[in-house]
Amino acid sequence: MSSVDKAIETQLNNIQSKTGKSMTELTKIVKESGLQKHGQVRDFIRETFPVLGYGDANMVASFTLKREDENEETSLKEIVNGFYENKTEVQRQIHDKTMQQIKALGEFEIAPKKTYLSLRRKRQFAMLGPASKGRVELGLNMKGIPGTDRLVEQQPGGMCQYKVFMEDPSEVDDELMGWVRQAYEASA
């Protein structure tokens, strides 16, 4: 089982534990609501099950909705495959290695966006997705760390305070994971 598949399975198991409902029961609840738009279903799930965060509700919406007009699978694996469809194999390797290392830190939610994954605890600590020029972009939210040539400070008010651009899987190293750990711990 790939690291992405394991992350999906873990998130789905956590959702079922938090709600006391199986995915079949959650699917039935969503279908009975009559809602068909992703955002509406996500909001409905958050209202119905306040124990679920944004990322979990997003996963329930993705899992339960059938997008017949788009004819696509909405699992996290398929979403990530879509991110890297026209990208290089190296970019996908960087993504998978980064996610594998981040998973070792502990529990967090994965909220898929259009072009990246938002990684959240109480708030977003990182975002990961393909970037231009064959790179992968890792955004980090943390404070009080001086930027470097590698850890690029961002303008205030953006999605992340720092970004790291990676071109090779070897760049998923101890230095990078030290920054990720700081962002992870700060988001608790």
Residues 99 and 152 reside in one and the same domain: yes
Q: Cite the beta strand spans of the chain per DSSP E.
A: 109-112, 117-120, 124-130, 136-140, 152-153, 162-166
* pLDDT tens column, 59-118: 888 888 754 334 333 478 888 988 998 899 999 999 999 999 999 999 998 888 888 999
Residues 33 and 117 reside in one and the same domain: no
The mean per-residue pLDDT over the stretch 166-185 comes to 97
Residues 67 and 108 reside in one and the same domain: no
Q: What is the distance between the alpha carbons of residues 50 and 2, in angstroms, rounded to a whole number? A: 30
Residues 139 and 58 reside in one and the same domain: no
Residues 35 and 52 reside in one and the same domain: yes
Q: What is the distance between the alpha carbons of residues 141 and 139, in angstroms, rounded to a whole number? A: 7
Q: Which residues pair with 72 in a beta bridge?
A: 67
Residues 127 and 173 reside in one and the same domain: yes
Residues 91 and 172 reside in one and the same domain: yes
For residue 130, what pLDDT band results from cuts at 50, 70 and 90?
A: very high
Residues 55 and 8 reside in one and the same domain: yes
Residues 72 and 27 reside in one and the same domain: yes
Taken in order 149, 152, 155, 156, is the CA torsion positive or negative?
negative
The mean per-residue pLDDT over the stretch 141-170 comes to 93
CATH number where 95 lies? 3.30.1460
The residue segments making up the domain with residue 29 are 3-76
**How many domains does the chain fold into?**
2
